[in-house]
């Protein structure tokens, strides 16, 4: 018994286990809460998996039926964002969104007081140089020549008088009547008169001949330079009036009266880079992204039938006009543009459009075969005469009558499914 009791004694030298820090438990709870929140958020925002079925075409001759169907958007073939060539404040706007304009029509005017002042200054400088050039080209006037001749004659007369005085003084000095100083003074006066006569003779000759041709050429160059300055100032003034480069429709009006327009850096709330955007709505295309797997089915100028969700009963004849020279690596597609041959007022840029590429069409834009194709849509996919089509991983609501075949529709769509919501297609039914 004594031996067993000895084994039950407490060893006071043994170290007690260290207590855990107080922050560990709250940290563990916080991590658990964050993990749970992340899991819930991921579940709420995860793309739901949906059942998908492909709309099929039946009842048409095999050679004339649709060979490929695609969806895209209507775009203007040539959309122009019209910018100003000069900076300035908008003084007048003559158009609004939706207005039809003709080529050359005035759309916007900028304040032009400063540009008019520059033009007047340049024109004044040009006129001044032209007058000087005319003076050089015309040469000296008869009055100037006569005056120069009179001055020369007077100088020669003075020279002759000085010569006579010098001869008399030299004779008298030789006889001893006049001093050597008097002779020197007479000689100096004669020399000065001779030099003056020589100078006036050269001046008379220059006046009679006129200015040098080098001087005239230099002045002509200055006149041409001044003319260029005037032309530039006139161009700047003309650029304050912004005109339509083509006939078309105003898609967007980007400025208001009093706003500043610039040709350089454009800030979010600062000066505007362009004033209006316009396009010719008689020149429309459908922009499509064709999967690389289906691209081999198409060729240049491939005929097609175009329909829109807004007007599913209206069909438009078209053909492939443009194929992108390179593919999109991320989307594994090739961009194709289909020209609509006879667009009308029902079509608008950025409308959803469905395109059926066919082997041939008749003059009315219908399939050339006699048997009218039938579009088979699963009944479970139709809700309120509309369906959800899977486009780039999103559920896009479409009018059921606008389907042309080849679309992937969602079967039994969830009640809370919304247009544009991300989805995850399941196996094809």
Three state DSSP letters for 46-94: CCCEEEEEECEEECCCCCCCEEEEEEEEEEECCEEEECCCCCEEEEEEC
Q: What is the pLDDT of residue 39?
A: 57
Provide the CA 407 distance to its chain's centre, in angstroms.
Answer: 37
- Residues counted in the chain: 429
Say which range, 60-69, 224-233, 299-308, has the weakest mean pLDDT: 60-69
The answer to whether domain 80-110+240-278 has CATH 3.20.20.150 is no
Residue 64 has pLDDT above 50, yes or no: no
CATH class of 51-76+284-428: mainly beta
Q: Where are the domains positioned within the chain?
A: 2-45, 51-76+284-428, 80-110+240-278, 118-235
**pLDDT digits over 281-334, tens only?**
999 999 999 988 888 888 889 999 999 988 988 999 999 999 999 999 898 899
Residue 383 is classified by DSSP as B
Give the confidence band of 369 by pLDDT, cuts at 50, 70, 90: very low
Other beta carbons within 10 angstroms of residue 159's beta carbon come to 19
pLDDT of residue 315: 93
Higher local confidence (pLDDT), 172 or 348: 348
DSSP letter assigned to residue 400 = G
The rounded distance, in Å, linking the Cα atoms of 387 and 169 is 132
| Of 4-18, 38-52, 177-191, 233-247, highest mean pLDDT | 233-247
CA dihedral 38, 40, 43, 44 (to 10 degrees): -110
- Which of 155-159, 321-325, 383-387 holds the top average pLDDT? 321-325
Looking at residue 286, its pLDDT comes to 96
Question: What would the pLDDT profile of 109-151 be if each residue is shown by its tens digit?
Answer: 999 999 999 999 999 999 999 998 888 877 767 777 778 778 8
The predicted model scores a pTM of 0.57
Rounded distance between C-alpha atoms, residue 196 and residue 29, angstroms: 116
Nearest to 302 by CA among 326, 321, 287: 321
The more confident residue out of 409 and 40 is: 409
- Give the tens place of pLDDT for each residue, 386-397: 899 888 788 888
For residue 233, pLDDT over 70 is answered with: yes
Confidence of residue 62 (pLDDT cuts 50, 70, 90): very low
| Helix ranges, 180-271 (H) | 180-209, 213-238
Structure tokens at 378: 């699963």
Least confident stretch, 81-95, 103-117, 134-148, 412-426:
134-148
Strand order in the sheet with 100-101: 79-82, 276-279, 248-253, 100-101
Out of 42-51, 200-209, 327-336, least confident range = 42-51
Cα angle 15, 16, 18 (rounded to 5 degrees) comes to: 115
């Amino acid at each position: 018994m004594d031996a067993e009791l000895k084994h039950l004694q407490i060893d006071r030298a043994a170290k007690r286990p260290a207590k855990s820090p107080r922050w560990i438990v709250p940290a563990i709870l916080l991590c658990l809460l964050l993990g749970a929140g992340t899991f819930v958020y991921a579940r709420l925002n995860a793309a739901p998996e949906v059942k998908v079925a492909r709309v099929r075409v039946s009842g048409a001759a095999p050679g004339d039926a649709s060979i490929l169907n695609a969806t895209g958007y209507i775009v203007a073939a040539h959309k122009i964002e019209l910018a100003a060539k000069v900076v300035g404040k908008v003084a007048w706007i003559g158009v609004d969104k939706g207005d039809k304009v003709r080529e050359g029509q005035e759309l916007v005017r900028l304040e032009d007081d400063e540009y008019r002042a520059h033009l007047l200054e340049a024109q004044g400088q040009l006129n001044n140089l032209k007058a000087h050039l005319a003076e050089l080209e015309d040469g000296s006037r008869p009055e100037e020549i006569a005056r120069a001749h009179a001055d020369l004659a007077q100088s020669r007369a003075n020279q002759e008088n000085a010569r006579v005085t010098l001869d008399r003084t030299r004779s008298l000095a030789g006889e001893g009547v006049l001093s050597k100083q008097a002779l020197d003074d007479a000689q100096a006066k004669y020399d000065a008169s001779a030099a003056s006569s020589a100078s006036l003779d050269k001046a008379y000759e220059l006046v009679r001949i006129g200015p040098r041709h080098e001087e005239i050429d230099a002045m002509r160059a200055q006149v041409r330079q001044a003319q260029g300055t005037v032309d530039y100032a006139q161009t700047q003034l003309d650029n304050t009036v912004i005109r339509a480069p083509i006939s078309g429709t105003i898609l967007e009006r980007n400025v208001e009266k009093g706003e500043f327009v610039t040709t350089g850096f454009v800030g979010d709330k600062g000066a505007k880079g362009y004033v209006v955007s316009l396009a010719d709505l008689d020149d429309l295309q459908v922009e499509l992204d064709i999967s690389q797997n289906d691209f081999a089915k198409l060729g240049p100028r491939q005929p097609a039938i175009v329909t829109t969700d807004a007007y599913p009963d209206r069909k438009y004849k078209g053909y492939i006009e443009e194929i992108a020279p390179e593919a999109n690596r991320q989307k594994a597609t090739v961009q194709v543009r289909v020209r609509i041959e006879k667009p009308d007022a029902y079509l608008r840029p950025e409308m959803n459009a469905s395109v059926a590429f066919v082997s041939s069409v008749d003059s009315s834009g219908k399939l050339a075969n006699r048997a009218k194709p039938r579009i088979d849509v699963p009944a479970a996919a139709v809700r309120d005469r509309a369906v959800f089509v899977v486009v780039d991983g999103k559920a896009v609501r479409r009018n059921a009558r606008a389907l042309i075949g080849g679309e992937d529709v969602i079967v039994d769509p969830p009640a809370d499914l919304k247009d544009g919501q991300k989805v995850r297609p399941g196996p094809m039914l």
